[in-house]
Chain A
Amino acid sequence: MALQTEPFILNVGPQHPSTHGVFRMKVTLDGEVVLDVEPVIGYLHRGIEKMGENRTYTQIIPLTDRLDYLASLTNNLAYVLAVEKLAGIKIPERAEYLRIIMAESMRISSHLMAVGFFLNDLGAMMTPVLYMWREREKLLDLFEMVCGQRLTYNYMRIGGMSHDIPEEFLPALKKFVAEMPKFLDEYDQLIAKNEIVLVRTKGVGILPKETAIDIGASGPVLRASGVKWDTRKADPYSIYDRFDFEIPVGTTGDNYDRYWVRMQEMRQSVRILEQAIAQLPTGVVQADVPQLLRPPVGEAYGHIEAPKGELGFYLVSDNSIAPYRFHIHPPTLINLTALKDMVVGWKIADLIVTFGSIDVVLGEIDR
């Protein structure tokens, strides 16, 4: 006689140690097997898009810091590129190289945090987090030296950067870039061939290639599924076409591939940093832009390859000092729509790990 069972609904609630922010999931479970996942978002909604309509173009820059607060400089960069496209401003050479240096350092910092907390969700009791935060701490010290804050930088301006770098920045950055590959090899020794990590992440949470393209995924999630698409090579912005780097592409699209793609991207970022430091020219860092900018009537969409995917800002201007419409294209919200396909049929432990491998930040999802 068959045993009579019934599925029950578990609320992985807004307050949970592993949901990377205030995110709620209603999970239907049959024992330990996940049958259905229903995400509920909106706990961190602050109305940034509406606030942007009442602030001048320069005053929106501190607001964009608080979207993906773990990678603030790339948010600034995307917004500033959109405004410069709208107003037709050309920026000096030194500012272009400084933007590349800041963006790639930010990518390393964000990926360190993502990989560290992915392993924390797997159960390694904060040890990989603390090892990776040692490198991230060195980067945060460098950012503090340049712009004065460690989390919300507000460093880029329309027309370049706000100040020039101090003279002790470049030697410290060169030392960091020289030491980083050794630490990346140490992380590989700890994690990449660890049997428990392999057994728990290989083949789990697979996102097939067609599904990834259908839902519009971007970033490491898309590249791990086998699609070779990176905005830095497909639609080059700034001066990325002057640098020599590769795009790591995964094969199956499981959790291990997403982790592997992020580790390889960090190595490529170190390569770009070495080239950018060697080619840095002298000059001014900010073009001549009026304080209250009035762009001509029109619209612009500026997009970059942020650490989490393709981040885009859509601006509509009506020749006044504030934008008429300010819309943000968040990569993690689009990537998150695939969660149900990736997780149904696996166990509750895999749900947490797969969600961690997509690498969400709630500030970006809820805005």
Chain B
Amino acid sequence: MKFERYGIGIAKGMALTFKHLFRSPITVQYPEQKLIVSRRIRGNELVWFLDRCTGCATCAKACPQGNIEIVTHVGTENNYVVDKFEVDCGRCMFCGLCVEACPYNALAMGRSYERSQYRRSDFVLSKEQLQLSDIRQPSGYARPLVEAKLPRQSLLINSKQKDGGQKLSWLGLSKKRGRGV
């Protein structure tokens, strides 16, 4: 264990670190700048389409945890009417097997990943909360028609700087502030 290379190895390592001082940073200032997520993201929520669901419960059978609870009664036109469709999103692991299993495209994953609540019981989402709204948009996972309309993902490898960093405007960051800062 002699000091074999007279300190040249350390000097080359320090030269590499010094070169990195002149590369742009690869982090973004969240929450002022958000990256565009993938078109097929399995976000932390589900979106349910009331008009397409027939109450067949294939999704409930496909779930590994048993998170979906469906109660139906027989309706007048030889169909099932869904009384209760509850998903326990706190236990859900967002694997997407239910979305793949649905034969009528009535269930889709969501696009948001910022769904924290204060109580665990707030995670059990009922029929009305699961439907499409402006804060609950479907993602393209296993739904090619939805996927075709969504914007492209922002990739680190495609960033404009030739050394791979993100472009940041220094003074602009200091002026913008998030909530509570």
By a beta-carbon cutoff of 8 Å, the part of chain A in contact with chain B is 55, 58-63, 127, 131, 134, 137-138, 141-142, 144-149, 152, 154, 162-163, 166, 168, 172, 175-176, 179, 186, 189-191, 193-196, 198-199, 202-203, 291
User: A127-B17, A203-B1 are known contacts. Are A148 and B109 too (CB-CB below 8 A)?
Assistant: yes
Q: Indicate whether B3 reaches chain A with its CB closer than 8 angstroms.
A: yes
B95: A residues at CB distance < 8 A? 61-62, 152, 154
Q: Which residue of A lies closest to B35 (CB)?
A: A141
Contact with A195, one of B5, B16, B153 (Cβ below 8 angstroms):
B5
- A141→B9 contact, CB < 8 A: no
Q: Indicate whether B53 reaches chain A with its CB closer than 8 angstroms.
A: no
Q: How far is the CA of A162 from the CA of B142 in the complex (A)?
A: 9
User: A63-B64, A176-B157, A193-B9 are known contacts. Are A134 and B41 too (CB-CB below 8 A)?
Assistant: no
Question: Told that A148-B139, A195-B9 touch, could you supply 12 new A-B pairs with CB distance under 8 A?
Answer: A60-B64, A62-B64, A134-B156, A137-B26, A147-B40, A148-B41, A162-B142, A166-B40, A172-B155, A175-B157, A195-B5, A195-B7
User: A193-B5, A199-B1 are known contacts. Are A145 and B13 too (CB-CB below 8 A)?
Assistant: no
User: A137-B26, A172-B155, A195-B4 are known contacts. Are A144 and B97 too (CB-CB below 8 A)?
Assistant: no
Could you list 22 examples of A-B contacts with CB < 8 Å?
A: A58-B62, A59-B62, A138-B156, A138-B164, A141-B157, A145-B39, A148-B96, A148-B139, A148-B141, A149-B41, A163-B142, A166-B40, A166-B147, A168-B152, A176-B157, A189-B13, A193-B8, A194-B9, A195-B9, A198-B1, A198-B9, A291-B101
Q: Indicate whether B12 reaches chain A with its CB closer than 8 angstroms.
A: yes
Q: How far is the CA of A172 from the CA of B156 in the complex (A)?
A: 10
Chain A interface mostly helix, strand, loop or mixed?
helix
- A137→B38 contact, CB < 8 A: no
**Interface residues in B121-162 (C-beta closer than 8 Å to A):** 139, 141-142, 147, 152-153, 155-158
- B13→A154 contact, CB < 8 A: no
- B40→A134 contact, CB < 8 A: no
- 8 nearest interchain CB pairs? A193-B9, A62-B95, A59-B64, A148-B42, A148-B40, A144-B38, A138-B157, A194-B9
Q: How far is the CA of A55 from the CA of B65 in the complex (A)?
A: 9
In the complex, how many angstroms separate the beta carbon of B45 from the nearest chain A beta carbon? 13
B39: A residues at CB distance < 8 A? 145, 166
A55: B residues at CB distance < 8 A? 64
A203: B residues at CB distance < 8 A? 1
Highest count of chain A CB atoms <10 Å: which of B12, B101, B142: B12
Q: Indicate whether B94 reaches chain A with its CB closer than 8 angstroms.
A: yes
In the complex, how many angstroms separate the beta carbon of B75 from the nearest chain A beta carbon? 27
Q: Indicate whether B171 reaches chain A with its CB closer than 8 angstroms.
A: no
B16: A residues at CB distance < 8 A? 186, 189-190
A168: B residues at CB distance < 8 A? 152
Q: Which residue of A lies closest to B23 (CB)?
A: A134
- B157→A172 contact, CB < 8 A: yes
A193: B residues at CB distance < 8 A? 5, 8-9, 12
A152: B residues at CB distance < 8 A? 93, 95
In the complex, how many angstroms separate the beta carbon of B122 from the nearest chain A beta carbon? 23
- B158→A172 contact, CB < 8 A: yes
In the complex, how many angstroms separate the beta carbon of A148 from the nearest chain B beta carbon? 4
- B97→A149 contact, CB < 8 A: no
Contact with A194, one of B13, B153, B164 (Cβ below 8 angstroms):
B13
A138: B residues at CB distance < 8 A? 155-157, 164
B26: A residues at CB distance < 8 A? 134, 137
In the complex, how many angstroms separate the beta carbon of B79 from the nearest chain A beta carbon? 23
Q: How far is the CA of A179 from the CA of B13 in the complex (A)?
A: 20
Q: How far is the CA of A145 from the CA of B42 in the complex (A)?
A: 11
In the complex, how many angstroms separate the beta carbon of B10 from the nearest chain A beta carbon? 6
- A195→B3 contact, CB < 8 A: yes
Q: Indicate whether B37 reaches chain A with its CB closer than 8 angstroms.
A: yes
Q: Which residue of A lies closest to B157 (CB)?
A: A138
Q: How far is the CA of A135 from the CA of B82 in the complex (A)?
A: 48
In the complex, how many angstroms separate the beta carbon of B114 from the nearest chain A beta carbon? 15
In the complex, how many angstroms separate the beta carbon of A197 from the nearest chain B beta carbon? 8
- B4→A194 contact, CB < 8 A: no
In the complex, how many angstroms separate the beta carbon of B53 from the nearest chain A beta carbon? 19
Q: Which residue of B lies closest to A175 (CB)?
A: B157
User: A148-B141, A176-B157 are known contacts. Are A195 and B10 too (CB-CB below 8 A)?
Assistant: yes
**Interface residues in B1-29 (C-beta closer than 8 Å to A):** 1, 3-5, 7-10, 12-13, 16-17, 20, 26
